[in-house]
Chains A and B, each alone.
Chain A
Amino acid sequence: MTAPALQTTRRCPYAPPDEHTRIRDTDSGITQVTLPSGQVAWALSRLEHIRAMLTDPRFSSDRQNPNFPRFTREQPNFGLMRPSIIQLDPPEHGPARKAVVGEFTVRRMAGLRPRIQQIVDEHIDAMLAGPRPADLVQALSLPVPSLVICEQLGVPYRDHDFFQARSSALLSRAVTNEGRQQAAKELRDYLKDLIAEKAADPTDDLLGRQLTQGNDPEDVLSLAFLLLIAGHETTANMISLGVVTLLERPDELAALRKDPERTLPAIEELLRVYTIAEFANSRVAVEDVEIGGVTIRAGDPVLALSNAANHDPSAFDEAEEIKLDRGARHHIAFGFGIHQCLGQNLARMELQIVFDTLVRRIPTLRLTTPADSLRYKDDAFIYGIHEVPVTWDDPA
Protein backbone atom coordinates (compact mmCIF):
# COMPACT_ATOMS: atom_id res chain seq x y z
CA MET A 1 0.00 0.00 0.00
CA THR A 2 1.37 3.43 -0.81
CA ALA A 3 1.04 6.06 1.87
CA PRO A 4 -1.49 8.83 1.04
CA ALA A 5 -0.16 12.28 0.18
CA LEU A 6 0.00 14.70 3.09
CA GLN A 7 -2.73 17.36 3.07
CA THR A 8 -1.70 20.83 4.21
CA THR A 9 -4.80 22.99 3.71
CA ARG A 10 -6.51 23.79 6.99
CA ARG A 11 -10.23 23.18 7.38
CA CYS A 12 -10.43 26.71 8.73
CA PRO A 13 -7.78 29.04 10.16
CA TYR A 14 -8.37 27.57 13.61
CA ALA A 15 -8.52 23.90 12.68
CA PRO A 16 -5.97 21.49 11.25
CA PRO A 17 -6.62 19.82 7.89
CA ASP A 18 -9.37 17.19 8.29
CA GLU A 19 -6.86 14.49 7.38
CA HIS A 20 -4.69 15.37 10.41
CA THR A 21 -7.68 15.18 12.72
CA ARG A 22 -8.61 11.80 11.22
CA ILE A 23 -5.10 10.46 11.78
CA ARG A 24 -5.16 11.68 15.38
CA ASP A 25 -8.47 9.96 16.03
CA THR A 26 -7.38 6.52 14.73
CA ASP A 27 -6.41 3.86 17.29
CA SER A 28 -2.69 4.54 17.25
CA GLY A 29 -2.79 8.19 16.15
CA ILE A 30 0.22 7.36 13.96
CA THR A 31 0.30 6.64 10.24
CA GLN A 32 2.53 6.97 7.21
CA VAL A 33 2.11 9.79 4.69
CA THR A 34 3.90 10.74 1.48
CA LEU A 35 5.48 14.19 1.59
CA PRO A 36 5.77 16.55 -1.40
CA SER A 37 9.46 15.51 -1.49
CA GLY A 38 8.38 11.94 -2.26
CA GLN A 39 9.60 10.77 1.18
CA VAL A 40 7.37 8.46 3.14
CA ALA A 41 7.21 9.77 6.71
CA TRP A 42 5.57 8.75 9.95
CA ALA A 43 2.99 11.32 10.98
CA LEU A 44 2.55 11.83 14.73
CA SER A 45 -0.61 13.66 15.73
CA ARG A 46 -1.09 13.37 19.50
CA LEU A 47 0.37 15.76 22.02
CA GLU A 48 1.72 12.91 24.15
CA HIS A 49 3.52 11.26 21.21
CA ILE A 50 5.05 14.46 19.89
CA ARG A 51 6.20 15.50 23.35
CA ALA A 52 7.75 12.04 23.77
CA MET A 53 9.57 12.34 20.46
CA LEU A 54 10.84 15.85 21.19
CA THR A 55 12.41 14.75 24.49
CA ASP A 56 13.97 11.57 23.07
CA PRO A 57 17.61 11.81 21.92
CA ARG A 58 17.03 8.99 19.43
CA PHE A 59 15.40 11.59 17.18
CA SER A 60 17.59 14.11 15.40
CA SER A 61 17.09 17.72 14.29
CA ASP A 62 19.78 17.43 11.64
CA ARG A 63 18.10 19.05 8.66
CA GLN A 64 21.03 18.00 6.48
CA ASN A 65 20.22 14.34 7.03
CA PRO A 66 18.76 13.23 3.67
CA ASN A 67 15.94 11.51 5.56
CA PHE A 68 14.86 14.59 7.47
CA PRO A 69 11.21 15.30 6.45
CA ARG A 70 11.14 17.84 3.61
CA PHE A 71 8.49 19.66 1.65
CA THR A 72 10.67 20.06 -1.41
CA ARG A 73 12.95 17.62 -3.20
CA GLU A 74 16.07 19.55 -2.26
CA GLN A 75 16.72 21.62 0.81
CA PRO A 76 18.15 25.10 0.23
CA ASN A 77 21.06 26.06 2.47
CA PHE A 78 23.01 22.92 1.79
CA GLY A 79 26.64 23.72 2.37
CA LEU A 80 25.98 27.46 2.54
CA MET A 81 26.67 27.81 6.23
CA ARG A 82 27.54 25.83 9.32
CA PRO A 83 24.52 24.25 10.99
CA SER A 84 22.78 26.59 13.45
CA ILE A 85 21.34 25.54 16.83
CA ILE A 86 18.01 24.53 15.35
CA GLN A 87 19.81 21.75 13.44
CA LEU A 88 22.22 20.62 16.15
CA ASP A 89 21.79 17.54 18.31
CA PRO A 90 23.41 16.86 21.68
CA PRO A 91 26.17 17.18 22.67
CA GLU A 92 26.77 20.14 20.32
CA HIS A 93 23.35 21.75 20.85
CA GLY A 94 23.62 22.57 24.58
CA PRO A 95 26.78 24.71 24.56
CA ALA A 96 25.70 26.47 21.36
CA ARG A 97 22.32 27.36 22.84
CA LYS A 98 23.81 28.41 26.18
CA ALA A 99 26.13 30.79 24.34
CA VAL A 100 23.11 32.86 23.30
CA VAL A 101 20.11 32.05 25.50
CA GLY A 102 21.27 34.54 28.16
CA GLU A 103 20.26 37.22 25.63
CA PHE A 104 16.65 35.96 25.75
CA THR A 105 15.86 35.40 29.43
CA VAL A 106 12.56 36.60 30.83
CA ARG A 107 14.40 39.39 32.67
CA ARG A 108 16.36 40.52 29.61
CA MET A 109 13.14 40.65 27.63
CA ALA A 110 11.45 42.73 30.33
CA GLY A 111 14.31 45.21 29.92
CA LEU A 112 13.34 45.67 26.27
CA ARG A 113 9.77 46.55 27.18
CA PRO A 114 10.07 50.38 27.15
CA ARG A 115 11.74 50.40 23.76
CA ILE A 116 9.22 47.96 22.26
CA GLN A 117 6.35 50.04 23.66
CA GLN A 118 7.86 53.10 21.98
CA ILE A 119 8.19 51.27 18.65
CA VAL A 120 4.58 50.08 18.86
CA ASP A 121 3.32 53.58 19.75
CA GLU A 122 5.21 55.16 16.87
CA HIS A 123 3.76 52.70 14.40
CA ILE A 124 0.25 53.20 15.72
CA ASP A 125 0.72 56.98 15.51
CA ALA A 126 1.76 56.62 11.88
CA MET A 127 -1.18 54.35 11.10
CA LEU A 128 -3.66 56.75 12.73
CA ALA A 129 -2.20 59.64 10.75
CA GLY A 130 -2.56 57.74 7.48
CA PRO A 131 -5.48 56.80 5.22
CA ARG A 132 -8.34 54.48 6.19
CA PRO A 133 -8.69 51.60 5.72
CA ALA A 134 -5.11 50.65 6.59
CA ASP A 135 -3.42 47.29 6.21
CA LEU A 136 -2.46 46.23 9.71
CA VAL A 137 0.12 43.78 8.35
CA GLN A 138 2.18 46.55 6.74
CA ALA A 139 1.43 49.16 9.41
CA LEU A 140 2.20 47.08 12.48
CA SER A 141 2.57 43.29 12.24
CA LEU A 142 5.63 43.23 10.00
CA PRO A 143 7.57 46.36 10.99
CA VAL A 144 7.38 45.93 14.78
CA PRO A 145 9.06 42.49 15.14
CA SER A 146 11.40 43.36 12.31
CA LEU A 147 12.60 46.56 13.94
CA VAL A 148 12.90 44.83 17.33
CA ILE A 149 15.02 41.94 16.05
CA CYS A 150 17.18 44.31 13.98
CA GLU A 151 17.95 46.48 16.99
CA GLN A 152 18.60 43.46 19.16
CA LEU A 153 20.96 41.82 16.67
CA GLY A 154 22.52 45.04 15.45
CA VAL A 155 21.33 44.76 11.85
CA PRO A 156 20.55 48.09 10.13
CA TYR A 157 16.77 48.40 9.82
CA ARG A 158 17.17 50.46 6.65
CA ASP A 159 17.95 47.17 4.89
CA HIS A 160 14.75 45.51 6.08
CA ASP A 161 13.06 45.47 2.65
CA PHE A 162 16.01 43.44 1.45
CA PHE A 163 15.89 40.75 4.10
CA GLN A 164 12.10 40.76 4.49
CA ALA A 165 11.81 39.78 0.83
CA ARG A 166 14.44 37.04 1.22
CA SER A 167 12.99 35.73 4.41
CA SER A 168 9.46 35.39 2.98
CA ALA A 169 10.86 33.64 -0.10
CA LEU A 170 12.62 31.15 2.17
CA LEU A 171 9.42 30.47 4.07
CA SER A 172 7.18 30.03 1.04
CA ARG A 173 6.30 26.66 -0.38
CA ALA A 174 5.29 28.46 -3.59
CA VAL A 175 8.85 29.64 -4.40
CA THR A 176 11.07 27.25 -6.40
CA ASN A 177 14.09 25.64 -4.86
CA GLU A 178 16.41 27.74 -6.99
CA GLY A 179 14.58 30.85 -5.82
CA ARG A 180 14.93 29.86 -2.20
CA GLN A 181 18.57 28.88 -2.61
CA GLN A 182 19.25 32.27 -4.20
CA ALA A 183 17.44 34.10 -1.38
CA ALA A 184 19.46 32.17 1.21
CA LYS A 185 22.71 32.98 -0.55
CA GLU A 186 21.95 36.70 -0.77
CA LEU A 187 20.97 36.88 2.85
CA ARG A 188 24.09 34.95 3.84
CA ASP A 189 26.36 37.28 1.87
CA TYR A 190 24.70 40.31 3.41
CA LEU A 191 25.14 39.00 6.96
CA LYS A 192 28.69 37.85 6.28
CA ASP A 193 29.72 41.39 5.36
CA LEU A 194 27.93 42.79 8.37
CA ILE A 195 29.66 40.34 10.71
CA ALA A 196 33.05 41.10 9.19
CA GLU A 197 32.42 44.79 9.92
CA LYS A 198 31.45 44.02 13.50
CA ALA A 199 34.50 41.80 13.97
CA ALA A 200 36.73 44.70 12.88
CA ASP A 201 34.81 47.31 14.87
CA PRO A 202 32.88 45.70 17.77
CA THR A 203 29.35 46.91 18.47
CA ASP A 204 27.28 46.52 21.65
CA ASP A 205 24.48 44.38 20.28
CA LEU A 206 23.77 40.66 20.23
CA LEU A 207 25.97 39.88 17.22
CA GLY A 208 28.74 42.18 18.43
CA ARG A 209 28.70 40.55 21.87
CA GLN A 210 28.81 37.06 20.36
CA LEU A 211 31.98 38.09 18.54
CA THR A 212 33.67 39.80 21.49
CA GLN A 213 32.91 36.73 23.62
CA GLY A 214 35.14 34.82 21.25
CA ASN A 215 32.56 32.88 19.26
CA ASP A 216 33.68 31.86 15.79
CA PRO A 217 32.39 34.34 13.15
CA GLU A 218 31.18 31.40 11.05
CA ASP A 219 28.96 30.27 13.93
CA VAL A 220 27.78 33.83 14.56
CA LEU A 221 26.80 33.99 10.88
CA SER A 222 24.62 30.88 11.15
CA LEU A 223 23.05 32.22 14.33
CA ALA A 224 22.35 35.62 12.76
CA PHE A 225 20.70 33.97 9.78
CA LEU A 226 18.51 31.81 12.00
CA LEU A 227 17.48 34.64 14.34
CA LEU A 228 16.68 37.01 11.52
CA ILE A 229 14.38 34.49 9.83
CA ALA A 230 12.90 32.99 12.99
CA GLY A 231 12.36 36.34 14.66
CA HIS A 232 10.61 37.98 11.76
CA GLU A 233 7.57 36.46 10.20
CA THR A 234 6.59 34.21 13.08
CA THR A 235 5.71 37.03 15.46
CA ALA A 236 4.35 39.12 12.59
CA ASN A 237 1.90 36.39 11.63
CA MET A 238 0.80 35.88 15.23
CA ILE A 239 0.13 39.62 15.57
CA SER A 240 -2.09 39.62 12.47
CA LEU A 241 -3.93 36.43 13.31
CA GLY A 242 -4.37 37.40 16.96
CA VAL A 243 -5.79 40.83 16.13
CA VAL A 244 -8.30 39.25 13.74
CA THR A 245 -9.45 36.79 16.42
CA LEU A 246 -9.79 39.56 18.99
CA LEU A 247 -11.65 41.90 16.63
CA GLU A 248 -14.11 39.10 15.92
CA ARG A 249 -14.85 38.83 19.65
CA PRO A 250 -15.96 42.24 20.94
CA ASP A 251 -16.80 40.87 24.39
CA GLU A 252 -13.33 39.44 24.83
CA LEU A 253 -11.86 42.66 23.55
CA ALA A 254 -13.80 44.65 26.14
CA ALA A 255 -12.67 42.23 28.85
CA LEU A 256 -9.03 42.63 27.80
CA ARG A 257 -9.36 46.41 27.85
CA LYS A 258 -10.63 46.28 31.42
CA ASP A 259 -8.15 43.70 32.66
CA PRO A 260 -4.70 43.48 31.05
CA GLU A 261 -4.04 40.37 33.18
CA ARG A 262 -6.10 38.51 30.58
CA THR A 263 -3.68 39.22 27.76
CA LEU A 264 -0.98 36.64 28.51
CA PRO A 265 -3.40 33.70 28.85
CA ALA A 266 -5.12 34.88 25.65
CA ILE A 267 -1.76 34.83 23.88
CA GLU A 268 -1.15 31.21 24.96
CA GLU A 269 -4.55 30.24 23.59
CA LEU A 270 -3.94 32.06 20.31
CA LEU A 271 -0.58 30.31 19.99
CA ARG A 272 -2.32 26.97 20.56
CA VAL A 273 -5.27 27.38 18.22
CA TYR A 274 -3.18 28.74 15.35
CA THR A 275 0.02 26.68 15.79
CA ILE A 276 1.62 28.72 13.01
CA ALA A 277 4.86 26.68 12.85
CA GLU A 278 2.92 23.45 12.60
CA PHE A 279 5.59 21.23 11.03
CA ALA A 280 8.61 22.79 12.79
CA ASN A 281 8.66 19.99 15.36
CA SER A 282 9.54 17.28 12.83
CA ARG A 283 12.57 14.99 13.26
CA VAL A 284 14.43 12.01 11.80
CA ALA A 285 14.92 8.82 13.84
CA VAL A 286 18.55 7.79 14.32
CA GLU A 287 17.74 4.57 16.22
CA ASP A 288 14.74 2.27 16.31
CA VAL A 289 12.11 3.69 18.67
CA GLU A 290 8.68 2.55 19.71
CA ILE A 291 6.04 5.23 20.09
CA GLY A 292 2.38 4.47 20.71
CA GLY A 293 2.86 0.80 19.77
CA VAL A 294 4.45 1.63 16.41
CA THR A 295 8.09 0.87 15.70
CA ILE A 296 9.85 3.74 13.99
CA ARG A 297 13.10 2.54 12.36
CA ALA A 298 16.44 4.29 12.36
CA GLY A 299 16.47 6.57 9.32
CA ASP A 300 12.70 7.08 9.18
CA PRO A 301 11.48 10.67 8.70
CA VAL A 302 8.92 11.72 11.33
CA LEU A 303 6.51 14.56 10.72
CA ALA A 304 4.91 16.24 13.72
CA LEU A 305 1.32 17.30 13.03
CA SER A 306 1.59 19.87 15.82
CA ASN A 307 -1.65 21.62 14.98
CA ALA A 308 -3.60 18.38 15.36
CA ALA A 309 -1.73 17.76 18.63
CA ASN A 310 -2.61 21.22 19.92
CA HIS A 311 -6.26 20.34 19.25
CA ASP A 312 -5.93 16.88 20.82
CA PRO A 313 -9.03 16.23 22.99
CA SER A 314 -7.00 13.98 25.30
CA ALA A 315 -4.75 16.94 26.11
CA PHE A 316 -7.18 19.89 26.11
CA ASP A 317 -10.80 20.02 27.27
CA GLU A 318 -13.09 21.10 24.46
CA ALA A 319 -9.98 21.37 22.33
CA GLU A 320 -11.89 22.73 19.32
CA GLU A 321 -13.11 25.75 21.27
CA ILE A 322 -11.20 29.01 21.46
CA LYS A 323 -11.21 29.98 25.12
CA LEU A 324 -9.03 33.00 25.60
CA ASP A 325 -8.98 32.50 29.36
CA ARG A 326 -8.14 28.78 29.14
CA GLY A 327 -4.71 29.32 30.69
CA ALA A 328 -3.25 26.09 29.23
CA ARG A 329 0.46 26.36 28.59
CA HIS A 330 1.34 22.78 27.69
CA HIS A 331 0.77 23.33 23.95
CA ILE A 332 3.66 22.82 21.54
CA ALA A 333 3.28 25.98 19.44
CA PHE A 334 6.83 26.91 20.52
CA GLY A 335 7.95 23.29 20.29
CA PHE A 336 9.09 21.09 23.17
CA GLY A 337 12.35 19.54 24.28
CA ILE A 338 15.77 21.12 24.00
CA HIS A 339 14.88 23.14 20.87
CA GLN A 340 11.86 24.87 22.36
CA CYS A 341 11.72 28.35 20.90
CA LEU A 342 14.61 30.53 22.00
CA GLY A 343 12.67 33.71 21.20
CA GLN A 344 9.43 32.73 22.93
CA ASN A 345 9.63 35.34 25.66
CA LEU A 346 10.43 38.04 23.15
CA ALA A 347 7.47 36.92 21.03
CA ARG A 348 5.14 36.86 24.06
CA MET A 349 6.16 40.36 25.04
CA GLU A 350 5.78 41.80 21.57
CA LEU A 351 2.32 40.26 21.27
CA GLN A 352 1.34 41.50 24.70
CA ILE A 353 2.43 45.07 24.03
CA VAL A 354 0.79 45.17 20.60
CA PHE A 355 -2.56 43.76 21.77
CA ASP A 356 -2.71 45.88 24.94
CA THR A 357 -1.77 49.05 23.11
CA LEU A 358 -4.22 48.48 20.27
CA VAL A 359 -7.20 47.84 22.53
CA ARG A 360 -6.31 50.81 24.69
CA ARG A 361 -5.52 53.33 21.96
CA ILE A 362 -7.98 52.39 19.20
CA PRO A 363 -11.16 51.11 20.87
CA THR A 364 -13.11 51.43 17.59
CA LEU A 365 -10.65 49.35 15.56
CA ARG A 366 -12.48 46.93 13.23
CA LEU A 367 -12.01 44.84 10.10
CA THR A 368 -13.39 46.23 6.86
CA THR A 369 -13.92 42.76 5.39
CA PRO A 370 -15.21 39.68 7.20
CA ALA A 371 -12.48 37.49 8.68
CA ASP A 372 -13.42 34.54 6.49
CA SER A 373 -12.71 36.49 3.30
CA LEU A 374 -9.12 37.36 4.30
CA ARG A 375 -6.29 35.68 2.37
CA TYR A 376 -4.68 33.16 4.69
CA LYS A 377 -1.19 31.77 3.99
CA ASP A 378 -1.97 28.21 3.10
CA ASP A 379 1.18 28.06 0.98
CA ALA A 380 3.75 29.01 3.62
CA PHE A 381 5.78 27.05 6.16
CA ILE A 382 4.59 29.58 8.72
CA TYR A 383 0.83 30.16 8.74
CA GLY A 384 -0.46 33.72 8.61
CA ILE A 385 -2.53 36.28 6.71
CA HIS A 386 -1.45 38.34 3.72
CA GLU A 387 -3.45 41.50 4.52
CA VAL A 388 -5.64 42.68 7.39
CA PRO A 389 -7.67 45.75 6.29
CA VAL A 390 -8.79 47.77 9.31
CA THR A 391 -10.50 51.04 10.01
CA TRP A 392 -11.49 53.11 13.09
CA ASP A 393 -13.50 56.17 14.08
CA ASP A 394 -12.10 59.62 14.72
CA PRO A 395 -11.51 60.13 18.43
CA ALA A 396 -14.65 61.65 19.99
Chain B
Amino acid sequence: MTRIVADLDRCVGAGQCVLTDPDAFDQSDDDGTVVVLRDTPADDDAVKRAQVAVDICPSRALSLTE
Protein backbone atom coordinates (compact mmCIF):
# COMPACT_ATOMS: atom_id res chain seq x y z
CA MET B 1 0.00 0.00 0.00
CA THR B 2 1.21 3.53 -0.79
CA ARG B 3 2.37 5.42 2.24
CA ILE B 4 3.38 9.09 2.61
CA VAL B 5 6.69 9.70 4.37
CA ALA B 6 7.72 13.17 5.56
CA ASP B 7 11.24 14.22 6.49
CA LEU B 8 10.80 16.95 9.09
CA ASP B 9 14.45 17.97 8.93
CA ARG B 10 14.07 18.86 5.27
CA CYS B 11 10.63 20.49 5.49
CA VAL B 12 10.71 24.30 5.29
CA GLY B 13 7.04 24.87 6.07
CA ALA B 14 6.04 26.23 2.69
CA GLY B 15 2.60 24.69 3.10
CA GLN B 16 2.26 23.59 -0.52
CA CYS B 17 1.26 20.11 0.67
CA VAL B 18 -1.57 21.57 2.78
CA LEU B 19 -2.83 23.43 -0.28
CA THR B 20 -2.67 20.21 -2.28
CA ASP B 21 -4.57 18.04 0.17
CA PRO B 22 -5.77 19.52 3.47
CA ASP B 23 -7.16 16.11 4.46
CA ALA B 24 -3.72 14.55 4.34
CA PHE B 25 -1.45 17.37 5.49
CA ASP B 26 -1.35 20.06 8.14
CA GLN B 27 1.43 22.24 9.57
CA SER B 28 2.70 22.47 13.12
CA ASP B 29 1.86 25.73 14.88
CA ASP B 30 5.35 25.89 16.38
CA ASP B 31 7.72 25.65 13.47
CA GLY B 32 5.42 25.31 10.47
CA THR B 33 6.69 21.84 9.57
CA VAL B 34 4.39 19.31 7.97
CA VAL B 35 2.08 17.09 10.02
CA VAL B 36 0.88 14.08 8.05
CA LEU B 37 -2.76 13.62 9.05
CA ARG B 38 -3.34 10.56 6.92
CA ASP B 39 -0.31 8.68 5.64
CA THR B 40 -2.19 6.07 3.59
CA PRO B 41 -4.17 7.67 0.76
CA ALA B 42 -7.68 6.25 0.79
CA ASP B 43 -8.29 6.04 -2.98
CA ASP B 44 -6.71 6.70 -6.37
CA ASP B 45 -7.54 10.40 -6.24
CA ALA B 46 -5.83 10.70 -2.90
CA VAL B 47 -2.79 8.89 -4.31
CA LYS B 48 -2.71 11.37 -7.18
CA ARG B 49 -2.87 14.29 -4.79
CA ALA B 50 -0.05 12.73 -2.77
CA GLN B 51 2.05 12.50 -5.94
CA VAL B 52 1.41 16.16 -6.71
CA ALA B 53 2.40 17.04 -3.14
CA VAL B 54 5.65 15.08 -3.51
CA ASP B 55 6.42 16.78 -6.83
CA ILE B 56 5.79 20.35 -5.74
CA CYS B 57 7.22 20.14 -2.21
CA PRO B 58 10.08 22.63 -2.62
CA SER B 59 12.42 21.02 -0.12
CA ARG B 60 11.94 17.44 -1.29
CA ALA B 61 10.66 16.55 2.17
CA LEU B 62 7.91 14.21 1.00
CA SER B 63 8.13 10.78 -0.57
CA LEU B 64 5.89 7.81 -1.24
CA THR B 65 6.74 4.21 -0.34
CA GLU B 66 4.95 1.09 -1.40
Residues of A within 8 A of B (CB): 54-55, 94, 97-99, 101-108, 329-330, 334-342, 344-345, 348
Contacts and interface: CB of A to CB of B under 8 A. Distances in A.
A101 B32 contact: yes
Given A107-B27, A344-B14, A345-B15, A102 B32 contact: yes
Contact of A340 (B20, B32, B55, B59): B59
A107 B12 contact: no
A3 to B, nearest CB: 30
Given A103-B32, A329-B16, 19 more contacts: A54-B58, A97-B13, A98-B32, A101-B31, A105-B18, A105-B28, A106-B18, A106-B22, A107-B18, A107-B29, A329-B20, A329-B52, A334-B14, A336-B58, A338-B59, A340-B12, A340-B16, A340-B58, A342-B14
Contacts, number: 74
B58 A102 contact: no
A56 to B, nearest CB: 10
B38 interface: no
Q: Which 10 A-B pairs have the closest CB atoms?
A: A101-B32, A101-B13, A340-B58, A98-B31, A105-B27, A106-B18, A106-B15, A102-B32, A340-B14, A336-B58
A94 B9 contact: yes
Contact of B15 (A94, A339, A344): A344
Contact of A105 (B9, B20, B32, B52): B32
Contact of B12 (A101, A103, A329): A101
B52 A104 contact: no
A345 B60 CA distance: 19
Given A94-B12, A98-B13, A338-B12, A104 B58 contact: no
B54 to A, nearest CB: 11
A103 B26 CA distance: 14
B30 interface: yes
A102 B28 contact: yes
Contacts of A335: 58
9 contacts: A97-B12, A102-B29, A103-B32, A105-B13, A329-B52, A329-B56, A330-B55, A334-B14, A338-B12
